[in-house]
Amino acid sequence: MLYDVIIRLLAAAGLITIANANGITTSSVVVSVCIFLILEVSLLFNDKRVYSFVTLIPFVIAGAYVWGDPYDTLKLWAIVILGAFTAVSIILYEIMMKYKTLLFRTRDDSKELEDMLEDKNRRLMSEQDQQVHLATLAERNRIAREIHDNVGHLLSRAILLLGAIKTVNKDDSISSQLEMLAGTLDESMEKMRASVHDLHDDSIDLKKNFDDIIGELKDYKVLADLDLDESVPTKIKLSLIGILKEAVTNILKHSSADTVSIILQRNYSFCSLSVTDNGHLSDAQKEKISSGTLDGIGLENIRNRARSLGGDAYFYTNDGFTVFARLPINDPQGRS
C-alpha cells in the first residue's frame, strides 16, 4: 500500500509540475488539487476497472489543461511518458504483491503441513510406544504363566516327595538336613509365587481394559473423561475395572439410555469413578434404589468391590442413573 501511495505521489508531482510550467495561476492550482485528490482517492476502489479508470482521469485533466499551450506537444508527450511510467509501476507493484501473497500463502501452507506432519509423527510414536507397552505386558504374562506352570509344578512335586521321604525316614542323623531342605523348598515356593504375582500385577493395563469395556457401548454416545494413572495399586485397578464392567453391563441389559458419561479421577488419596446414563427410571425403581432395596446382583457387586478396599459406592437417580464409587488409594487393604 505504501509503494502504491508513493507511485501516485510521484505521478501527481509530475502532472502538477507540467500544469504549472507556465506559472502558478488560480486555474493551475485548481487543476493541481484535482489531480492530487483524484490520484489518491483512486486507492479507495477495490474494483480493478474502476481503479484504473479513476487513475487515468488526472492524466486526461492534465492533457486537457495544457491543450492549446505553445508547448502543448512537448507537454503532452511528457504526460504520456509519465502516464506510461505510472502504469508500468502500478502493474509491476501489483505483480510483486501477487507473488508476495503467494509466497506468504506457500509459507503458511508449508507451516500447516509441517505441523500436521509433526502431529502425525507424535501420534505414530505414541502408538508405537503403546504397542511396545502391550507387547511387554503380554510377555510378562507369558513368563508368569511359564514360571507358574513349570517351575511351580516342579517345586510342588519336590515338596510332596520330600514330605513322603520325611514320613518314611528312620535315620535321625539326616532328619535335620531334611527339615532344612523342606524349609528351603517352602521358601523357594513362596518367592516364586511372589515373583509370579508381581509379574502378573504389573501386566494389568488400565487403559486397555477401560477401552475394551467402553468399546461395548458402540450403540451409545459416550462422553469419557479418564485420568488413567497406571501407577495406582493393583487392587485399585482390578476394582475399577470390575466396577466399570458391572456398570456397563447394567446399562446394556436394563437402560433405555442413548448417552453415557464416564468420569475417572485420581488425586493423592483416592480414586473416584462415575458412570451416568440418561435412561428413564420408574418412580418405583427410584424408590427402591434410594432405599437400598433394589434387587440386583450387579449393584451389590459394585458396592462390595468398593467396600472391600475401604471405599464405598453410591447410586443416584437424578436425570438418569449414576453409579459413583470412591476408592481410597492409601488404605492398607488397597495396597498391592
Residue-level pLDDT at 125: 66
Q: Which one, of 232, 212, 238, lies nearest residue 134 by Cα? A: 212
Q: pLDDT tens digits for 255-298?
A: 888 999 999 998 888 899 999 999 888 777 777 777 665 556 67
The mean per-residue pLDDT over the stretch 299-324 comes to 88
**For residue 223, pLDDT beyond 90:** yes
pTM for the structure as a whole? 0.44
CA distances from 6 to 12, 33, 173, 260 (A): 10, 17, 116, 65
pLDDT averaged over every residue in the chain: 78
Question: pLDDT band for position 113 (50/70/90)?
Answer: confident
Lowest mean pLDDT among 42-56, 78-92, 184-198, 298-312: 42-56
The mean per-residue pLDDT over the stretch 142-171 comes to 79
The mean per-residue pLDDT over the stretch 5-13 comes to 74
Rounded Cα gap, residues 109 and 207, in angstroms: 36
Q: pLDDT tens digits for 160-180?
A: 888 888 788 777 778 888 888
Residue-level pLDDT at 331: 45
